[in-house]
Amino acid sequence: MEKKDFDFLTDKVAAFILDSNRIVVFTGAGISTESGIPDFRSPGGIWTKFDPDDFTIQKFMSSEKTRRMQWQMMAEGSLLKDAAPNQAHHAIAELEKLGKLTCVVTQNIDNLHQKAGNSPDKVFELHGNMKFVRCMGCDSRFPVEEILKRLDKEEIPDCHHCHGILKPDAVFFGESLPQKALNDATHHSRNCDLFIVIGSTLIVYPAAYMPMYAVEAGAKLVIINLSSTPMDSKASALIATKAGEAMSKIVEKVRNQLPA
């Protein structure tokens, strides 16, 4: 993208942010790749290394062998990459500090928005969070580090409250999305005046309905993504560049125009 086009588009998006009162940021795998986390579907992604069938909720719940394999992968770090937030995550966190963010709706399971400084109660994780483990029996939630410590002595840890099956708190194939996160994301998408997509191809549903809800309600749509999406024709601004580069420039322009 030529510098004059980039400057024009980032000016435009900064102006949208300054003029808006209810801003939703929606993030997908394309923001996390800049922190070194491969997209699940891309070369080097998780589905090139593991069988997606082993990540169905039915197989996890019914097969002790599958659970043992997944805990072994967790212990080895195959599923948990200790990545750091990048420029884009920090820019989104700064939008919150500047009072220009209602919430983040994310398809990512890496906890990087919270690490960057976004309030956990403003981050709606549609596909869960691999930094936590949930009991399928009593619904207790534990930090993953707490459970990983037990793997020296236990191949398949269970819940110490009810002895139920423990599962990484990410959404598996065949599993429903967390209802509260989905309800909150839907509500804010339908009631925002600006919806900013960052790093999502908008092809995974029901998450990809969120920008549709926003546009139907009359919100402006901004898409920052390296490839095209099915919603491009509805966007008021399209920026086909890296998330970190675009968001850091946009937020810098917003910061410079807000009253001190």
What is the model's pLDDT at position 57?
A: 94
What is the model's pLDDT at position 76?
A: 80
Same domain, 112 and 236: yes
CATH number for position 211: 3.40.50.1220
Same domain, 238 and 159: no
Neighbours of 260 (CB within 10 A): 3
What is the model's pLDDT at position 209?
A: 97
Is residue 218's pLDDT more than 80? yes
Same domain, 29 and 139: no
pLDDT tens-digit map of 75-122 = 887 666 678 999 999 999 999 999 999 999 999 999 999 999 999 999
Bridge partners for 124 per DSSP: 105
Confidence category of residue 73, pLDDT binned at 50, 70, 90: confident
pTM of the predicted protein model = 0.91
The answer to which of 51-55, 202-206, 239-243 has the lowest mean pLDDT is 51-55
What is the model's pLDDT at position 2?
A: 81
Select which of 89, 127, 161, 187 is catalytic: 127
Angle at which helices 209-216 and 179-190 pack, to 10 degrees?
30
- Distance (Å, rounded) from C-alpha 184 to C-alpha 90? 23
Average pLDDT score over the chain = 92
**Average pLDDT in the 231-255 region?**
97
Neighbours of 143 (CB within 10 A): 10
The residue written with tokens 């939008």 in the block is: 95
Angle at which helices 3-19 and 243-257 pack, to 10 degrees?
50
Token pair for residue 137?
Answer: 């029996």
What is the model's pLDDT at position 38?
A: 73
Q: Is 127 an annotated catalytic residue? A: yes
Same domain, 201 and 236: yes
pLDDT tens-digit map of 9-51 = 999 999 999 999 999 999 999 999 998 887 655 555 554 556 6
CATH number for position 61: 3.30.1600.10
What is the model's pLDDT at position 163?
A: 95
What is the model's pLDDT at position 82?
A: 74
What is the model's pLDDT at position 12?
A: 97
Residues of the chain with pLDDT > 70, as a percent, come to 93
**Average pLDDT in the 240-250 region?**
96
**Average pLDDT in the 172-186 region?**
94
What's the number of domains the chain is made of?
Answer: 2
What is the model's pLDDT at position 203?
A: 93
Same domain, 184 and 239: yes
> Which residue range is the domain that position 108 belongs to?
1-37+85-127+177-260
